[in-house]
Structure formats: C-alpha cells, structure tokens
A and B are shown apart, each in its own frame.
Chain A
Amino acid sequence: MHTFFASFSFMADHFGLLADRTVDHLKLSAAAVAVALVLALPLGVWLGHRGKGSFLTVSISNIGRALPSLALIAIFLGLLGIGFVNVLTALVVMAVPPVLTHAYLSVEQVDPDLVRAGRGMGLTEWQILTRIELPLALPVLFTGIRIAAVYVISSATLAAVAGGGGLGDIILNQVSYGLSGVIAAALWVAVLALAADALFGALRNRLTPRGVLAGRSA
C-alpha cells in the first residue's frame, strides 16, 4: 500500500515530467488514431454501403486481433528501426482493424427497407449514405473508434521500447524513477484510456440523432 501513496507524492513532485510525457503520449496516440480513421473509415463505410467486402473486413479484423502489439513493434523494429515512424506504423496497424470492421458493419446492418424507401423517395446514393445510413450507423461506428483509441493509448505505452517516448518511458524505466514513479505513470495511462473511452462515448451520444439512440435501448 505504501508504494501507492508514494506514487501520489511522485505525481506531485514530478508533475512537469508526467505532464510532458502525457502530451507526447497523447500526440502519438492522436496521430495514430487520426491516420487510422483517414485510412479505414471511408473504406469501411463505402464497403458497407455497397454491401460487399464482408470477407475482407472479417479477415482483416481477425488478423488484426491476432497481432500482438509488442510483437508488432518488435517486427517493425526489425523493418524500420527505432523511432517515431516505427511506433506510429505499429499503432496504425493496430487501430485500423476495429475502425474498418465497425465502419463496415455499422453501415451494412442498416435496415434495407429504409434504404429502399430512400431510393423510392428519389434520394441520390450520396443522400442515402449521408442522411439515412450514416446517422443510423453512428453508434456502432463509434464503438470501433472507441476500441481503437483505447488500444492505441494502451499500446503506446510499449512505444517507449522502440524510442517512441510517452508515458511508457517512465513505466519501463524503474531504475531511474523507482517503483512509485512507475506506478504513477501506469495510473496516468489507465486514466487516459478510461478518459478516451468516456470522451468518445460522450461524442457518440452528442452526434447520434436522438431517435436513433432511443431506438437502441437494448
């Protein structure tokens, strides 16, 4: 128990250091999530709209889940060497599968009757996508983003192994910071992950039309 109290005094004493590493950690995580969103979101939504590519998305998600984060960073250590690019690449590879599969599923599962009704009303494909499918898809789509964000923040800890910086620097360096420092940093990472989860949950509730949320009480 003593170590836990010591970790709080470590936080007070080294607030600047922790804040510094947190900024690094968040920058790295945000960059990885952003790249993954740019790559996977349009692709997943488009495939879901076409209703094709379930095999592709399912296999990508299975393979993605099978890729251990540390192994991935290790493999990229071999391929790209130490540094930001390695870590960013590994994190993007981790974030793409959940975003892609959830984006696909979210659009694909929209009630086909609604889409047909939209066509009957003379909406263009773009209007069907933006006015019918996407609003209904948002809750599932956000689940994918939440999973990706938590994954990335959590795996960014391992980034320190490959010279990526962030809070992992402190966690992996017990020699310099002592157990209390390690625990303090670990607590911060845990809080960051939970906060990101809550943030995207709140964002989902904010962006999803009220009627869609009300229909999903289950």
Chain B
Amino acid sequence: MSSTLLAAAGPQPVIPDFGTVSSCVRDNGLFCVDWFTANFSSMFGPALVQHVRLTVIAVGVGFLIAFPLALLAHFRRRLVKPLGGLTSFLYTIPPMALFTLLVPVFGLSVLTAEIALVSYTLMVLFKSSLTGLGEVPEEVRRAGEGMGLTRREVLWRIELPLALPAVISGLRVATVTTISVVEVAAFIIDQGLGSPIIQGLQSPFNTQFIGAGLLAVALALAADGLIVLVGRLLTPWARTRRTV
C-alpha cells in the first residue's frame, strides 16, 4: 500500500500495512470500528488472552496465600494485626513504583509482574476471608459443637460455608483491581491490554487507546459478573435472605 498516501495525510498514526486506509483511520477518528476489527486477531485478541492469564494467575496465587493466612489469623488472633498491617502496606505501594522496584531483583519478567500483582490481591483477600470467618455467629458455632462436631468439622461444615459470601465478594474486588493493575504491568512486560496503549504512545492513535481501554473495562465488568454468578451457584442459601 502506498506510503505516500499516508504522508499526505499529515502526522502518521500507527497503522500497520494492511488493506486500504479508511477516512476514519486517516483522520485519527475517535474510534474506528473497521481498524479495531481488522486488528483484533493480531493485536487486541492476544493481549486480551494474556491479560486474562496474568489476572487468573495473580488472583489464584494470591488466594492460595491469603486464605491460609486468614485461617491462621482466625485461630491465632494476635496474628491479625501484623498480617493485616503487612498486606495493607503492600497494597499502599503504587503499582508503577512496585513494578520498577522489583525489576533489578527479578528482571523484566512475568515473574516480576506476578509478584507485584499477587501482593496487591493479598490485602483484600485476607481481610474479606477473615471477616467472613469472624462473622459466623457464636451461637451457630456452639450449636455445631453441641451436636458433637469436632473443631475441624465445625470449620468445614459451618464456618467455611458461611464465610463463602464474604470470600466471594473479596475475590470480586481482587479480580477487578488486578485487571486494572495488569494494564500497568505492560510497562515491564510486553503483555496484556496495556501493551497496545504503551506502544501507541509514540504516535497517538485514538482507536488503539480507546479500544484497549474499553476492552479492559469490559473484561473487568465481565469477570465481576462471572464471579457473582458462580457465587450465587455456590451459596444457594444466601439468595433468599440477601436482597441488596
């Protein structure tokens, strides 16, 4: 395709060599649907898949760390303060700063990104799990003990199921936050929906920014909805009582 045509159009947007350029692309319109769909399979699709993968790993590993910690703190109350403080401290560090600080130690790798991402999930998952376990009414627990359940059975059959709604709401927050932070991770690894945004900074092309941004927002909303749905399936007893 002719580069002269582009040169004539003034400042060149980031357009890979393909097909004919629509007037929207030439004028850097707000959102060029044709360009977006044409580039979905090569740019946005893979970025979306990477984004999902990074998020799932981060939330999964975060949960595997935070939930046992919450259980531990549930039984050893004096651990609540130090563990809560540590996770809140990690949560307060700005993502961009944390990513950058980890680079000299772990390099420009997925590992670096995941370490930072996991550390952001810990606070929410720890607190929500702990709150959920703590909110089980004392009488319910004692009723279980009265029925002859051991401490372990009380945990498995009473406390954990009743804590589930709080855990799920923690997972929702953690997942949506992680999806948001994964965008920033693109500064250190060329993955996720942040990478089209960062690549586009050199020569701003609106569709690339808005497309990647909207996809991330859509992904966050979809993930949130999915977790709500799974939560409802897992806690059928909660539906009748909770109207909000």
Which residues of A pack against B, CB within 8 Å? Answer: 1, 3-4, 54, 58, 62-63, 65-72, 74-75, 77-79, 82, 150, 153-155, 157-158, 161, 168, 171-172, 179, 182-183, 185-187, 189-190, 193-194, 197
Contacts and interface: CB of A to CB of B under 8 A. Distances in A.
B92 A194 contact: yes
B111 interface: no
Given A66-B180, A158-B96, A194-B93, A71 B213 contact: yes
Contacts of B98: 186, 190
Contacts of B30: 78-79
Given A62-B224, A68-B213, A68-B216, A193 B180 contact: no
A70 B94 contact: no
Contacts of B197: 70-71, 74
Contacts of B220: 65-68
B206 A78 contact: yes
Interface string B72-92: 000000000000000001001
Contacts of B181: 68
Nearest to B184: A70
Contacts of B210: 74-75, 78
B104 A179 contact: yes
Interface string B161-203: 0000000000001001101111110110000011001101100
Contacts of A54: 244
Contacts of B207: 78
B: contact size bracket: 35 or more
Contact of B217 (A4, A67, A78, A150): A67
B100 A68 contact: no
Interface of B is mostly: helix
Contacts of A63: 221
Interface of B: 30-31, 89, 92-98, 100-101, 103-104, 173, 176-177, 179-184, 186-187, 193-194, 197-198, 200-201, 204, 206-207, 209-210, 212-214, 216-217, 220-221, 224, 244
A26 B209 CA distance: 26
Contacts of B214: 71, 75
Nearest to B103: A179
A185 B100 CA distance: 9
A158 B183 CA distance: 11
Nearest 8 CB-CB pairings of A with B: A154-B94, A71-B213, A66-B220, A74-B209, A78-B206, A68-B180, A186-B97, A186-B100
A158 B194 CA distance: 12
B97 A189 contact: yes
Nearest to B201: A161
A186 B173 CA distance: 25
B224 A66 contact: yes
A137 B187 CA distance: 39
A65 B177 contact: yes
26 contacts: A65-B173, A66-B221, A66-B224, A68-B180, A68-B181, A68-B220, A69-B180, A70-B184, A71-B197, A74-B200, A74-B210, A75-B209, A77-B204, A78-B30, A78-B206, A78-B210, A82-B204, A150-B94, A154-B97, A161-B198, A161-B201, A185-B100, A186-B98, A186-B101, A187-B97, A187-B101
B136 to A, nearest CB: 15
Contacts of B103: 179
A35 B39 CA distance: 38
Contacts of B184: 69-70, 158
A12 to B, nearest CB: 19
A155 to B, nearest CB: 8
Given A158-B184, A183-B101, A190 B224 contact: no
Contacts of B194: 70
A154 B181 CA distance: 11
A4 B104 contact: yes
A94 to B, nearest CB: 10
